[in-house]
């Protein structure tokens, strides 16, 4: 019997049903009908192809330009569309219109991804997963570009490029272009103990989700809210998964990687096509500037969480994904998220990683997608009225409005609401470089290990760490044992014992 085919396998069949009655003709890229498609225009049977075969030349010339640079991180991913709905009133914290009334719906696009792998990489690798949401709000685009973990490996953007070099494509050595080079990974991880918290999550069960639909999401970095009275709050975003959380063991993940490298992408597509729409509830944690000033830990350090016992989750809304892309490249490869895309009522915080990110994304998009990427259908806001014009691939004409400010010809003016919500920050201090890398790196990982992880997960954590440490140089193994001993003496001891006994399992 024929095995049951899933929605992804049926895509072409379903598509063809729509076109049975109204068959399209083949056109050239400029829209005129093409006379022949199976043969090029040659002089006689064996003669050369004529330059006059301009439809052929146009198609080949387009084909040779089909690839654009892949994302420097988060290259492999999948996405879908849906909506965000407000379920609770948080106007006391933020004046953003996206939260303005209960029941208000805003269209969204979401892209999930792996951080490290290249575009063709297997989905089921051990890695952090990206969780980026684009809100098409009445006040412009708001991008909340987070991960499936509440913390990140490093806390200062100065270290981000180096850290990505040691994890990118699971640590490809720059000379040999070969992976893995475990020495690179453990060298940097153990030299920067701030990585401990995320490294423990990375090697724990959450390191390989079974599906993009079965994991939580986090804004990870600290943001800020401003309410209608101009009052300022710091906040963190949490997306609580409404599907049961499910993870894969290293062995399962390794097996699936060989059989179906696009496992997560297929799963998301099929679920949505089958009407099994994934949903998350959005919450925020709120910290006042006074609480931030008095906090025993740095609230802008993205290697740390804000304790829920002190900063409880406040419900905001829910979001649902109910539509697949119909052209992956146009809608998902060309989607450009940017933490600097904020709306009035939502602001950046001094989180050093977020500060670096405010520059990086727009910069990479202008390189990867071009200077007018915000005019692409998937990226464009409902309305843009300003003084930017021209450049590669300009589509938006701005209706003949003047391209300079100030002007006397009815050009757009500054919005009072946005101006009133722009916070006034009392900044003072010396400009200097302060390395905060050794600022209490073990308390929260200790809580994670001792209080959150169950005994069986601790066993898998140790097995996973050992499997990545085993092929590493001995002095680096010793540094790692020391780092994990600082979390918990027993953890360090069990890794040491594991290194002397266990088999080498890569993943």
Residue of 19, 29, 46, 147 with catalytic role: 147
Q: With respect to ligand HEM, which residue has the nearer C-beta, 360 or 447? A: 360
DSSP string, 136-160: EETTEEEEEEEESSS--S-SSGGGH
Q: Site for ligand HEM (CB under 6 A): which residue of 74, 97, 155, 479?
A: 74
Look at residue 164 and give its three-state secondary structure: helix
73 binds ligand HEM (CB under 6 A): yes
Q: With respect to ligand HEM, which residue has the nearer C-beta, 144 or 257? A: 144
Q: How many residues bind ligand HEM (CB under 6 A)?
A: 29
147 binds ligand HEM (CB under 6 A): yes
CB of 398 to ligand HEM, least distance (A): 26
Beta bridge partners of 146: 131
132 binds ligand HEM (CB under 6 A): yes
CA distances from 19 to 14, 67, 192 (A): 9, 28, 58
Whole-angstrom Cα distance, residue 135 to residue 141? 6
CB of 506 to ligand HEM, least distance (A): 26
CB of 335 to ligand HEM, least distance (A): 6
361 binds ligand HEM (CB under 6 A): yes
Whole-angstrom Cα distance, residue 323 to residue 335? 15
Q: With respect to ligand HEM, which residue has the nearer C-beta, 71 or 304? A: 71
Whole-angstrom Cα distance, residue 194 to residue 162? 14
Whole-angstrom Cα distance, residue 471 to residue 250? 17
152 binds ligand HEM (CB under 6 A): yes
Sorted by sequence, the CB contacts under 8 Å of residue 122 that are 6+ apart come out as 256, 257, 261, 263
CB-based contact 257:185 (threshold 8 Å): no
220 binds ligand HEM (CB under 6 A): yes
Beta strands in 177-300 (DSSP E): 217-218, 223-226, 232-241, 279-287
Q: With respect to ligand HEM, which residue has the nearer C-beta, 127 or 477? A: 127
CA 403 distance to own-chain centroid: 34
Beta bridge partners of 338: none
CB of 327 to ligand HEM, least distance (A): 16
Rg for the chain, CA atoms, rounded: 26
Task: Spell out the alpha helix ranges (H) of 229-262.
Answer: 250-259
Q: With respect to ligand HEM, which residue has the nearer C-beta, 221 or 285? A: 221
Whole-angstrom Cα distance, residue 357 to residue 335? 17
- As to burial, measured by CB atoms within 10 angstroms (0-12 exposed, 13-18 middle, 19+ buried), residue 239 is buried
93, containing H or E segment: none
The answer to whether 263 is a known ligand-binding residue is no
Look at residue 488 and give its three-state secondary structure: coil
Residue of 29, 62, 74, 173 with catalytic role: 74
Handedness of CA 290, 296, 301, 304 (dihedral sign): negative
As a 3-state breakdown, the chain gives helix, strand, coil percent values, each rounded to 5, of: 35, 15, 50
Please report, as residue ranges, which positions from 317 to 336 form the binding site for ligand HEM (by CB under 6 A).
Answer: 335-336
CA neighbor of 130 nearest in space, from 113, 118, 116:
113
Q: Site for ligand HEM (CB under 6 A): which residue of 199, 211, 221, 265?
A: 221
74 assigned to active site: yes
CB of 379 to ligand HEM, least distance (A): 10
CB of 348 to ligand HEM, least distance (A): 12
Please report, as residue ranges, which positions from 428 to 447 form the binding site for ligand HEM (by CB under 6 A).
Answer: none
**Per-residue x/- track, 31-70, ligand HEM (CB under 6 A):** ----------------------------------------
Q: Site for ligand HEM (CB under 6 A): which residue of 99, 223, 337, 468?
A: 337
Whole-angstrom Cα distance, residue 155 to residue 193? 11
CB of 478 to ligand HEM, least distance (A): 29
CA neighbor of 143 nearest in space, from 4, 324, 382, 337:
337
With contacts defined by CB under 6 A, name the span among 240-248, 362-370, 375-383, 482-490 that binds ligand HEM.
362-370
With contacts defined by CB under 6 A, name the span among 141-149, 232-240, 481-489, 496-504 that binds ligand HEM.
141-149
CB of 193 to ligand HEM, least distance (A): 18
145 binds ligand HEM (CB under 6 A): yes
Q: Site for ligand HEM (CB under 6 A): which residue of 61, 68, 72, 489?
A: 72
Please report, as residue ranges, which positions from 155 to 214 form the binding site for ligand HEM (by CB under 6 A).
Answer: 157, 160
CB-closest chain residue to ligand HEM: 130
Beta bridge partners of 79: 111
Q: Site for ligand HEM (CB under 6 A): which residue of 140, 350, 356, 381?
A: 356
Q: With respect to ligand HEM, which residue has the nearer C-beta, 50 or 72? A: 72
Beta bridge partners of 114: 129
113 binds ligand HEM (CB under 6 A): yes
Give the length of the chain: 507
| Residues flagged as binding site | 361
List active site positions.
Answer: 74, 147
User: Site residues (CB under 6 A) for ligand HEM?
Assistant: 71-74, 77, 111, 113, 130, 132, 145-147, 152, 157, 160, 220-221, 302, 335-337, 353, 356-357, 360-361, 364-365, 368
| Residues flagged as binding site for heme | 361
């Amino acid at each position: 019997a024929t095995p049951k085919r899933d929605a992804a396998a049926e895509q072409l069949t379903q598509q063809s049903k729509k076109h049975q009655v109204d068959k399209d003709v083949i056109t050239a890229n400029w829209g005129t009908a093409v006379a022949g498609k199976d043969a090029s225009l040659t002089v006689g049977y064996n003669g050369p192809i004529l330059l006059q075969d301009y439809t052929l030349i146009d198609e080949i010339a387009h084909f040779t330009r089909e690839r654009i640079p892949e994302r420097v991180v988060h290259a492999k991913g999948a996405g879908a569309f849906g909506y965000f709905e407000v379920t609770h009133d948080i106007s006391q914290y933020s004046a953003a219109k996206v939260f303005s009334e209960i029941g208000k719906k805003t269209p969204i696009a979401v892209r999930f991804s792996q951080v490290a792998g290249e575009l063709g990489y297997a989905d089921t690798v051990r890695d952090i997963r990206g969780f980026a949401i684009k809100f098409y709000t009445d006040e412009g685009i708001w991008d909340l570009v987070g991960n499936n973990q509440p913390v990140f490996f490093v806390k200062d953007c100065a270290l981000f490029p180096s850290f990505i070099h040691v994890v990118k494509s699971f640590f490809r050595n720059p000379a040999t272009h070969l992976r893995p080079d475990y020495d690179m990974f453990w060298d940097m991880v153990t030299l920067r103990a701030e990585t401990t918290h995320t490294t423990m999550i990375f090697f724990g069960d959450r390191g390989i989700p079974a599906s993009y639909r079965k994991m939580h999401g986090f804004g990870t970095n600290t943001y800020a809210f401003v309410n209608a009275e101009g009052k300022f709050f710091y906040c963190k975003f949490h997306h609580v998964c409404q599907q049961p959380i499910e993870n894969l063991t290293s062995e399962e993940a390794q097996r699936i990687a060989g059989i179906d490298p696009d496992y997560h992408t297929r799963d998301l597509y099929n679920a949505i096509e089958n009407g099994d729409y994934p949903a998350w509830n959005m919450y925020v944690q709120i910290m006042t500037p006074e609480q931030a000033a008095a906090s025993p830990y740095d609230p802008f350090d993205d290697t740390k969480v804000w304790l829920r016992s002190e900063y409880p989750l406040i419900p905001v809304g829910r979001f649902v994904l109910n539509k697949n892309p119909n052209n992956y490249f146009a809608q998902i490869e060309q989607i450009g998220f940017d933490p600097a895309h904020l709306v009035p009522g939502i602001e950046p915080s001094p989180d050093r990683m977020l500060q670096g990110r405010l520059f990086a994304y727009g910069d990479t998009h202008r390189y990867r997608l071009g200077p007018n990427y915000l005019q692409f259908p998937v990226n464009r806001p409902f309305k843009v009225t300003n003084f930017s014009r021209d450049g590669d691939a300009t589509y938006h004409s701005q209706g003949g409005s003047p391209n300079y400010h100030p002007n006397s010809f009815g050009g757009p003016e500054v919005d009072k609401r946005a101006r009133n919500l722009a916070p006034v920050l009392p900044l003072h201090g010396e400009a200097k470089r302060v390395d905060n890398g050794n600022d209490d790196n073990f308390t929260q990982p200790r809580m994670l290990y001792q209080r959150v992880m169950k005994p069986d997960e601790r066993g898998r954590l140790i097995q996973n760490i050992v499997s990545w440490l085993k092929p590493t140089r001995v002095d680096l193994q010793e540094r790692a044992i020391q780092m994990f001993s600082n979390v918990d003496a027993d953890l360090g001891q069990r890794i040491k014992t594991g290194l002397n006994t266990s088999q080498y399992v890569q993943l």
